[in-house]
Structure formats: C-alpha cells, structure tokens
Structure 1
Amino acid sequence: MIPCTLSTYSDLTDLAVDTIIDVRAPSEFAEDHLPGAINLPVLDDAERAKVGTIYKQDSPFSARKIGGALVAQNTAAHLQGPLAGKGGDWQPLVYCWRGGQRSGAFTTILDQVGWRVRLLSGGYRSYRSLVSKMLYDGPLPHQLILVSGGTGTAKTRLLQHLETAGGQILDLEALAGHRGSIFGATASEQPKQKMFESRLAAACAQLDPNKVTWVEAESSKIGDRVVPPALWSRMCTAPRIEISAPLPARADFLCRAYEDLTDDPAQFGAQIEQLRPYHPVELIGQWHDLAKTGDWQTLATGLVRDHYDPRYAKSAARSATPVRRLELPDLSETTLQQAAQTLLSGAAPA
C-alpha cells in the first residue's frame, strides 16, 4: 500500500487514482465524505455499534476479534460484488475516519490481491481539516459581486443566465438544497452541514480568483444550513447589484418557480402557518383561503407585498448602497438573458 497525504485542498485534484473508497459506516458517509467517493463500508452502522459496545463493556481484544471477522466478511462481499470487475491496473484510494484499523485492514486485503492501493493518512479527518481551514480560517481570495433584490426577482435564474453567458457563479441555494425562504424547501432533504461545506469547498476550489464570481445575496442561513464565516465575511463586504421588477411579474415568476409547492396545497398551508407570528389572523386566513382555492397569483402577490418586501426593505436599509440598480420590465427568459449580458459587458464593478 502507498501512503497518501493531503497538505492542501488542491491536492485533491492531483490524486492519480481511479476510485476513492470510503470504508466508514453508511451514516458517517451520509454526513460527509470526500468529493466523488463511493461507500464500501467494512462495518455497517449496526456492526459498528456492536463492536463499540463490546470494546467498552467487554474488552478491546474481543472487539478487535469480532470486528476483524466482520471486516473480512464485508470485504469479501465487496470483492465479489462492486469490485469484481476491476482489472489489475485499477488504483484506488481508501480512507476511514482517521486512517486506522478499518481502512488499514481493507487496504491490506486489496494490496494482497495485487492492486496499487493508496491509503489516506489521517483519514477523513485530514480532509475535513482542509475544508475547515478554507471556509473557517479564510480569507477567501475570490472577487464576489452579490445579486440582490426582493423575493421573486428571479435572482437564481439570472445567475444561471450569467453562467450560460460565460460568467463565473457560486450557486449557494443549489449547494444547500434549499431556495432560501420559508417556502424554499425542495423535495430532497438538505445535506448535512459538513456535506454542504464540502460541496462549497469543492465549488470554491473550481473558481478562478482572478475573475468576478456572481453570488446571490443570501442571508447567513439557507434553510437550516449556515454559510461558513470565511465566505460570509466576504459576502458582507462585496459590492451589490440590485434587481427590481414589477410586482405582477414577480408574482408570475414565483408561480412558475414554485410550481412544486402549488401541487401540494396541504404542504403550502403548513408553510403559511409558519408566518402566523408575523401577521394578523385575518391576513393568514386570507392566504389559507387563496391556497385552498388555488389562486396562486393573488397569493404570491400578497406574500411578496405584505411579507417579503417589508422585510427586504429593512435588510436593504442596513446594507451598503448597491453599486448598480437594474430595473427589469418583466422576468421572461429573454429579459433575464439580456440582463446577464448587460452585467457581463463591462458593467460589473472591479
């Protein structure tokens, strides 16, 4: 086996391996893992708990003996299953929590088969320390410009048009699996905080620090995920472009963008309930009635006018004056495409 050490995050892109294998339990893998890794656990969650209990209540020797048998059994299943078709020139990188017994045992067997196996020194913890260093210790070197505007001004869609037109973007909502408001949950569960940070670190590593990076002006939390301090501090000092559009156009865009929610009136009603502490009973009742009858255009108009815009106005008052305001007549794809080209044509501040 060949030891592998990660000194900087960029070392990840230089790994000359065919497959990255995480041998930790599925719950550990689900919380976070190296980019592109696959999970071939040598102990599943129940087995890991069992071995841990024996270690504490019986003896370390008994735990290692039982754990060793389970690791051998599970490794055999992987060799006969996912790894059965790998040729002699296949080169994997293997890691566990800290590069200890689980990855060591698995790597030894693969090495005996004849594969050139690399073992990550320090395991997942060495990788996690690099992510933390990037996102918590900072500062990030990127030149950010924030795209701001009230709810329904198609900021995320504008980001996508900026990328299509050749701009460099960081889509935080996509990375966090959330659209950034009470109604912003998607069908998929949000990634765990560590996984969100792994996605963010990988995305930042792909960005050219010498080019402007366009980012939507989010709050410090996107759903339940917290924007790490190095990025948040960069966002707080970044110049800002403010997008505005007529209220009917914004309501129409929201109806299109949140079509998944309008397909489930009961869920929409539950989310309206979360606004009850902020509005009179009568207004909440009106919104419930509109949701029940499917009058989404009127409902979207009311939510923007009476809930989102007053809060955005307070937030904007505390922010630095935008370097540019872009007033759009509508939020059609053509208009957003033209807006992206306008922003990229030299209007972006240095």
Structure 2
Amino acid sequence: MSFFFVIAVIILVFLIIFQIAKASEYVAVLKGEDRTRKENNKINGFFMIAFLIAGLIGVYFCNDALVGKTLLVHESASLQGEKVDQMLWVTLIITGIVFVITQCILFWFAYRYQESEKRKAFFFPHNNTMEIVWTVVPAIALTVLVVIGLRNWFSFTGDAPKNAMQVEVTGKQFGWIFRYSGNDGVFGKKYFRMIDPADNSLGLNWRDSAGINVKDDVAAHDDIVTEQTMYVVKNKPVKLIIGSRDVVHDVGLSWFRLKMDAVPGTPTTLWFTPKFTTKEMKESTGNPNFQYEISCDQMCGNGHYSMKGVIEVVTQAEYDEWMAKQKPAYYAAFPDKDPANIKPATPASDTTKATAVRLKPDLEVKKEKI
C-alpha cells in the first residue's frame, strides 16, 4: 500500500511542476516575451551571486565540520607516505585556487553581463592568445603533478632495502592470507592445484599433500601462514609480495598512504617503513580501539564490504616474541611430523638396564624355591 502511495505522490508533484511551467508560459505571453525574459535575467543574475556566496560558505563550513573525520589531520604512518601527503597537499592547493577563481569569475560574469539595452554583445570566433594560455598553463601544471606522482610511485614500488623484511600478502574472497619465510629466509614454492582451504590455503608444494605428484619443496616446510592480521616492525622496511587466490583485489593501506593491486597469477610488490607502533597510534589518536587497516580497494564480489585485515606494528622484541610462538603451516597440516609431537626413543643402554631390573626379582624368587 505504501508503494502505491509513493507513486501517487511522485505523479502529483510532477503534475504540479508541469502546471507551474505552463502558467509561467501563459504569463509570459500576456506580459510580452521580451519583458519576461529581461525580468528573468535579473532574477537569475541575482541568484547566481547568492548561490556563489552560499556555496563558498557551505564549502568552508563543510570542511570545518568534516575535516576531522579524514586522514588529512593525521600525518602518514610511513616514511614513504610523507611524500604522498606532500603531493596531495600540492594538488589540493593548486586545484583549490583554480576552483575558487574560476567559480567566482563564472558566477560574476553571469550577473555582471546579463542582457541590457545599454550594451551590445560582442562575439569573436577565435583568439590564439587565449587558447595558448588555457592550454599551456594547465598542461604545465598537470605535467608537474604527474612527474611528482611517478617519482613517488617508483620509489616505493622499486627495489626495497636489503635489510627489509618480506611478507607475502594473498587476497581471497573475502579475506587476507599472510606468509612469512621462516628460519631459512626463503619462501617455498606454490602450486594452485594444491590449494586446500582446510590445511593448505596457499597451495604450498608439499609432496604428500592433496595426492598430487609434485616435487616436495623443503623450503616450504618452515613457512608461517596467518590470516587477517599481519605483524611488522617499527622503523624497519617491509616488502609486501602481493597476489590473489581468485579475483582481482587491492591492498589498501590508507594510514600508510599506499595501495597496490592483487592480481591472480601476477605478483606485485610494495614496500614501506612504519613510523609508529599500533600502541603509539592508540595514544596519539585517543582511540583505544585503533587498528591499522588493510582494506580491499577493488570491488571483488558480494562480500567485498567485509574484506578487512589488520596490521600490527610492534617493536623488534615484540615481533621476535610473536614469531617464536608461531608454528609452520606444514606442521599444522601434518602434526605427526612436528618435532614437538615426536617422543624421543629410549636409548638401548637404558632398555638393557630396565630389563635387568625387571629380571632381578624373578631370579631371587627362583633361588628361594630351590
């Protein structure tokens, strides 16, 4: 019933607007089209100035009210993100100045040069000077911005420092999988046909996994795999090796001012240096629930909205303590091969001694019978 009521209201509003428009046409005919047009021009010119003033005031108050909810008031949480912030502010200043100037001129011209019997319009079809100015100036400004952007892009997508830790980030519908190379510092090989959501979410090359005849990669035995939360160290560069298990995702690191696509079958890389631990950010933001978020910035399916990961930035000591508690994914999949679950065999000498101890009471019993 409510649906039909809404439809009726819409139709009624449409009819009212239509009738008002028709009434205006009839009034214009009665008064004379020229007189009506001139009166409308004056009204429209006044409204142009009113809209300009109201619009600029609205922009100011909206910025004042909402800027605190953006990341503009917080400095970048990575060293590389500082350059991105600088680029953003340069872009905002240039485009902001151009916006204000062009809008003021646009609305002022509409008011100042409205139709008048005292003034005749001047038309000119071509002006080389004006065309050169409005073509060359924006081209130079945009070229400068593009060069700054490319320089920053190549800086954090290029080679990471030699001391950088490496973390593999894999997107899936709808979550994140993280892999650390373990004690050998080498990532084991993967094979997509070996992916098993239960115990081999990345398809690591384990010969006795999934019944597939592939060469066992020993380097994959100590790889540590976690989901949803990634641990990195403050002031230590970290290189992310990014991929996807299904569709195209995007690793969005808003607090670090970086992002990179996660493409199936095509690894991409990104590196940055965290400046503040998660604990420090909780104190500086005054938010005890603060988290560095990994968002998916690419529409990837029905559950895209829920695809959120967390980055825990900790000290080196805290990271070492956390890493010591982690168990390689290989041992989680095959508990019987975990050294912690294998009981040491009893030495041969101890076995002989124990047998002798058990036999001694029997010998003594036999002697008593004799």
Q: Which has the larger radius of gyration?
A: 2
**TM-score tier (shorter):** under 0.3
- How high is the TM-score relative to the length of structure 1? 0.23
TM-score normalised according to structure 2 size: 0.22
